[in-house]
Structure 1
Amino acid sequence: MSTLQKASASKNPKTARGQRTRNKLLDAAEIAFGEEGFHATSIGDITGRAQVALGTFYVYFDSKDEIFRALVAHMGHMVRSWIAERVAGSTDRLDAEFKGLVAYIEFARAHRNLYRIIEEAQFVAPDAYKAHYERFAEGYQRNLREAEERGEIRSGDADTRAWALIGMSVFLGLKFGIWDTQRSPEDIARDAIDMISGGLKP
C-alpha cells in the first residue's frame, strides 16, 4: 500500500454521518471538476458546493489531487454497481451485454460529468485512469470466461474481448449519452448486440 493509500485509508469515515459528509464532498467534486476541470477548480469551490467548512475537507482528504483520485475510483464503483444491478437475472451473456449497455448509456446521461473527469484523469492521475478501466476489465474477463464455460459464447481470448467491449461501451456512451441523446438506449443497444452476436460478415 502506497503512502497516499495509507493516508486515505486512515481518513475513512467511521460513522454514517462521516460517510455522508465524505459523499457530499465527492458529489460536489464531481460537479466542480466536471464543469470547470481539475486545474480551474479549488478546494474552496468543492467545499462551497458541498456547503461544508473548508477545514472539514481536510478531515477526509489531504489535497485536491487526493479527492480527484478518490472521485475517479468512486465513479468507477458507482457505474459498476449501477450496471450490476441492471444485469442481474439476465438469461445469458448476450442478454447481459444488452442490459449492461443500456445501463451504461443511462448512467452516462445521468452523470454527464463522468466523461470529462475520466478523460482528464489521463493527464492528472494516469494511474487512477488506468486502474479505473482495469477494474472493469477484470470483472468483464471473469464474466466472459464463465459464459464460455456455460456454452453461452464461443471460445476466445477473454482479455481481448473484454477490452474491445469496454471500448465499444465507452464510445457509445460518449456519442449517445453525451453528444446525442435523442435515441433510446434500448435501440442503440439492440444495434450493438446485433453486431456483437452476428459480426460484420455478410
Structure 2
Amino acid sequence: MTSTDNISSPAPVPPAAPEGREKASGPRSRKGMATRARLVTAAKAVFEDAGFLDARISDIAERAGLSHGSFYHYFDSKEQVFREVAKAIGSLLQEPLYTTIFNPASTATPAERIRQGSRAFLESYRAEARIIGVIEMVSRYDPELTSTRFEYHQAERVRAIKAVQQLQHRGWMDSSVHPDVALAALSAMMNRFAEMWFVQKLFDLDFDEGVEQLTKLSLNALRLADDPASRVVFG
C-alpha cells in the first residue's frame, strides 16, 4: 500500500483545538521557529507513512518529540500543518527555475540551463515522490490547498515571464506565444510527467534518458536550439 492509498474521500471536518486552549500563535523566537520547523518535518514523515486521513496530531507531536498540546501553540489543525508541508515541497520544486534556468549570473546557454534545471527538478521530485503523491491527492478535494499552491506559484511568475519575453525579443522564441500560457503549459507538462513517472509509476525509464527527453520537449516547445553558441541573459 502506498501513502496515497489512504486518500479516497474528502477529509472530515477537523476538530477544533481543545477547549480552553489558545489559538495557535506561531513562533515568536528563534527557539519557537525551530520547534515549528520540527513539527513540519515530523508532519511530513507522518503523512508519508500514514497518508492524510489516517495521520493523527498526536503522532505528529510524538514524532517531533513534543506533547500533544504543544502542537496547538503552532498550528490550529492537521490541515494547517499539511498545507505548510505542501508549501515547503512546492518551494523545493520551484527552486531550479530561479537558481538555474532564470539565474541572471549564469553564463550557460538556454539549453544547458533547461537541461540542468530539468535534472534538478526531477531529482527533487523523485526524492519526495511519497509526500508529493499525498499532496496531489489531497489538493483534488481541498480548495484552500489548491488556492494556496496556485497563489504561491503565481507570486514569482513575473521573473519567468520577463525571461520568456526576452527570448521573444531576441527572436529565439515564437513571438505569438503568450508567456503566461507557455509557462503554465510547460510547468503542467513537467509536473504531470514527473507524477506519472515517480508517483504513479506508469512507466520505467532510465533517469538520464528521462531528463534528456524532458529537456528536448521543453526546447522544442520554446523553439530554442540546443546550440552551445546560443546565449541569452535571463533575469
TM bucket, shorter chain? 0.7 to 0.9
Unaligned runs of 5+ in 1: 1-6
> Matches of 2:96 and 2:182 in 1, distance apart?
22
> Could you say which residue in structure 1 is the equivalent of 2:53?
39
Q: Percent identity, aligned pairs only? A: 22
Judging changes above 3 Å, is the alpha-carbon distance between structure 1 residues 96 and 116 closer, same or farther for their aligned structure 2 residues?
same
| Contact 1:82–1:103 (8 Å) recurs in 2 | yes
> Could you say which residue in structure 2 is the equivalent of 1:183?
206
TM-score using structure 2 length: 0.69
Higher helix share goes to which structure?
1
Judging changes above 3 Å, is the alpha-carbon distance between structure 1 residues 21 and 81 closer, same or farther for their aligned structure 2 residues?
farther
> Could you say which residue in structure 1 is the equivalent of 2:71?
57
TM-score using structure 1 length: 0.78
Unaligned runs of 5+ in 2: 1-22, 222-235
Cα distance, 1:46 vs. partner?
A: 0.8
Aligned residue runs from structure 1 range 141-160, under 5 A: 142-150=159-167, 151=170, 152-155=172-175, 156-160=177-181
Judging changes above 3 Å, is the alpha-carbon distance between structure 1 residues 35 and 124 closer, same or farther for their aligned structure 2 residues?
farther
| Contact 1:108–1:114 (8 Å) recurs in 2 | no
| Contact 2:43–2:60 (8 Å) recurs in 1 | yes
Aligned residue runs from structure 1 range 102-181, under 5 A: 102-137=119-154, 139-140=156-157, 142-150=159-167, 151=170, 152-155=172-175, 156-178=177-199, 179=201
> Matches of 2:118 and 2:133 in 1, distance apart?
20
Select 2:98's aligned residue among 59, 84, 103.
84
Structure 1 vs Structure 2 CA RMSD: 2.6
Judging changes above 3 Å, is the alpha-carbon distance between structure 1 residues 133 and 45 closer, same or farther for their aligned structure 2 residues?
same
> Matches of 1:124 and 1:174 in 2, distance apart?
18
Cα distance, 1:138 vs. partner?
A: 5.0
Judging changes above 3 Å, is the alpha-carbon distance between structure 1 residues 190 and 138 closer, same or farther for their aligned structure 2 residues?
farther
> Matches of 2:151 and 2:145 in 1, distance apart?
10
The number of residues matched between the two structures is 190
